[in-house]
Amino acid sequence: MTTTANGPGTLDEVLDYDTATAAFDPVMGLEVHVELNTVTKMFCGCPTEFGAEPNTQVCPVCLGLPGALPVLNRAGLESAVRIGLALNCRIAPLCRFARKNYFYPDMPKNFQTSQYDEPIAHDGWLDVELSDGEVYRVAIERAHMEEDTGKSLHVGGSTGRIHGADYSLVDYNRAGIPLIEIVTKPLTGAGERAPEVAKAYVSSLRDLLKGLGVSDVKMEQGSLRCDVNLSLRSRQDDDQMSVPLGTRSETKNVNSLRSIERAVRYEIKRHAARLRTGQKIVQETRHWHEDTGITTSGREKSDAEDYRYFPEPDLVPMQSDPEWVDSLRATIPEPPAERRRRLRAEWGFSEAELRDLINAGAVDLVAATIEAGATPAAARKWWSGELARQAKARGVDLCDLPITCEQVVELQGMVDAGRLTDTLARQVLDGVLAEEGGPEKVAAARGLSVVSDDSALGAAVDRAIEANPAVVKKILSGKTAATGALIGAVMRDMRGKADAARVKDLVLKRLVPQEGETDL
């Protein structure tokens, strides 16, 4: 058993992971908050643009000024219904907003307009695929609409949290931005794979939301935020269904896929250590620390916390007419898992090849490149090869590289036509990524094209033969594999611009005139 630091003066004990999951079965509940990318806020006409000057995207409604009233953004409702449908949920034919009452300085009305016992969507599921292809079905409890709060910036103090800060600044630009909260049912049966399931779920959800076009789903900007509820129950009982759920902890704002996996793993280890030694789990919220990879205690959260929900009287009930819902159903893209199965068959890739593309976030790019005219093999070669390397080196996502799928097709076309060697193609690519223009333009400007003029090549071959007598001797003694060294010398001489196949021809003609090309 080891210990980790937990704030000043306290230490949380943790059990090693394998021991923990051998003794206990984790039960997770994931709450994901998604900021919708509607042009205006949920209940007023203010813009939702990220990163504006503080308190410039506000009005009497989202500032909660006395007398102001909310009006529902229809686009937000539409997104909520589409998310519900994509998550295989039932859509409530009639539902209401409710007020969640609590005091906090960044909440202008000191109540949040949310949904309580009448969510817009409920009882759905999402299939998520783990790295080895195993599929886990995540049961969805509900998806409901609510408004975001403002944002507090606590200045001074050591923690960046309100406690101990010298003063706080509040930015209400975010107040009233539409949110969808997606809550899973308690997820059981994942066992030691629980951290993987959590990560795969949020990752799948992110893809799904992106496919729906309803959110920017940028975890680093907070447009997708995840809270992890976790409890453990003993594995000793044969009938797991009859074992009551243990006390849970709620780890707030775990904001990267990697952190979700790590946070679940850490909490399993922490809970197990306490339960092993007969200690109770405190029902509380916990803060995740990205740097140290641990959680620390936040505020205690008991069932006594009372939000005094009641139906929002300033908004009328929402009716989801079945015809309207059906028309939205027609706009739901193919579920990501099904789409992948279909694409793999169409492209003729192996499971491993497709999974590499998935992990690199390249599936959509490959699909678009094929759509633009490339063969599946060529599209895969570029996106999982040189372009993946370039993205990694620059620390950006593949889709953020400054190259279009059409440019990739153009480049491949030049290679196929024998106008570029692979080396030259990579140099052209460098130019494209340096935003010097499209492949043709870069090749012309940088003077990159294969030389297949026999007189120029012949002179270079002669120079190579002259400079490498030892290699020539090997070839003449029958070691034809040594030809590569001469070809390499010619290519260097020509600065990569030579047509390698033509060079090989010329070398062999000079040195082994009687043998013919078939041996080589």
Partner 1 sequence: MSSATPPADDSRSLTRRTAAELAQMLRTRQVSSVEVVQAHLDRIHGTDPGERGVHAFLHVSADSALATAAAVDRARAAGEQLHPLAGVPVAVKDVMTTRGMPTTCGSRILDGWIPPYDATVVRNLRDARMPILGKTNMDEFAMGSSTEHSAFGPTRNPWDLDRIPGGSGGGSAAALAAFQAPLATGSDTGGSIRQPAAVTGTVGVKPTYGGVSRYGLVALASSLDQAGPCGRTVLDTALLHEVMAGHDPLDSTSLTDDVPDVVGAARNRDVAGLRIGVIRELSGDGCQPGVRARFDEATALLVEAGATLVDVECPSFTAALAAYYLILPSEASSNLAKFDAMRYGLRVRPEKVVDPTAEQVMAATRAAGFGDEVKRRIILGTYALSSGYYDAYYGSAQKVRTLIQRDFARAFENADVLVSPTAPTTAFRLGEKLEDPLAMYLNDVATIPANLAGVPAMSIPAGIADEDDLPVGFQILAPARADDRLYHVGAALETLLEVRRGGPLLDRAPEISSASVAR
Q: Is 160 in the site for partner 1 (CB under 8 A)?
A: no
Nearest distance, CB of residue 255 and partner 1, angstroms: 25
Q: Does 1 bind partner 1 (CB under 8 A)?
A: no
Longest dimension (CA), the chain: 98
Question: How many CB atoms neighbour CB 514 within 10 A?
Answer: 4
- Token pair 């010329």: residue: 506
Told to check if 451 binds partner 1 by CB under 8 A, we report: no
**In the complex, minimum distance from the CB of residue 93 to partner 1, in angstroms, rounded to a whole number:** 19
Segment near partner 1 (CB under 8 A); pick from 83-91, 98-106, 186-194, 344-352: 98-106
Tracing tokens 């939702």 back to the chain, one arrives at: 48
Q: Which of 67, 244, 447, 513 binds partner 1 (CB under 8 A)?
A: 67
Question: Residue 177 and residue 172: Cα distance in Å, rounded?
Answer: 10
Q: Minimum Å distance from CB 88 to partner 1?
A: 30
Binding mask 24-63 for partner 1 (x = CB under 8 A): ------------------------------------x--x
CA angle 354, 360, 363 (to 5 degrees): 50
Q: Does 7 bind partner 1 (CB under 8 A)?
A: no
Give Cα 429 to chain centroid, integer Å.
26
310 is an interface residue for partner 1 by CB under 8 A: yes
* Among 23, 72, 130, 183, contact with partner 1 (rule: CB under 8 A): 72
**Beta-bridge partners for 225:** 33
- 149/128 Cα distance (integer angstroms): 30
CB of 155 to partner 1, least distance (A): 13
Rule CB under 8 A: say whether 70 interacts with partner 1.
yes
Q: Alpha carbon 212 to chain centroid distance?
A: 15
- Which of 1, 22, 69, 396 is in the footprint of partner 1 by CB under 8 A? 69
Q: Which of 9, 51, 103, 241 binds partner 1 (CB under 8 A)?
A: 103
Q: Count of alpha carbons within 13 Å of 149, Cβ hemisphere only?
A: 17
Q: Smallest distance, Å, CB 306 to partner 1?
A: 5
If the CB atoms of residues 51 and 66 are measured against partner 1, the closer one turns out to be 66
Quickly count: other Cβ atoms within 10 Å of residue 422's Cβ.
12
Q: Does 308 bind partner 1 (CB under 8 A)?
A: yes
Is residue 110 a contact residue for partner 1 (CB under 8 A)? yes
Interface with partner 1, residue 75, by CB under 8 A: no
With 0-12 / 13-18 / 19 or more C-beta atoms within 10 angstroms meaning exposed / middle / buried, residue 103 is exposed
As measured in angstroms, the least distance from the Cβ of 44 to partner 1 is: 9
Among candidate residues 26, 7, 9, the one with its CA nearest the CA of residue 269: 26
Q: Does 302 bind partner 1 (CB under 8 A)?
A: no
Do the beta carbons of residue 103 and residue 109 sit within 8 Å?
no
Binding to partner 1 by residue 313, rule CB under 8 A? yes
Q: Which residues of 481-503 are buried (b: 16+ CB within 10 A; e: fewer)?
A: ebbeebbebbbebbebbbbbebb
Q: Whole-angstrom Cα distance, residue 230 to residue 264?
A: 7
Question: Contact, 298 vs 284, CB < 8 A?
Answer: yes
Q: Which residue from 316, 444, 445, 481 is in contact with partner 1, where contact means CB under 8 A?
A: 316
Q: Which residue, 8 or 313, has its beta carbon nearer to partner 1?
A: 313
Q: List interacting residues with partner 1 (CB under 8 A).
A: 60, 63-72, 99, 101, 103, 105, 108-111, 162, 168, 170, 306, 308-310, 313-316
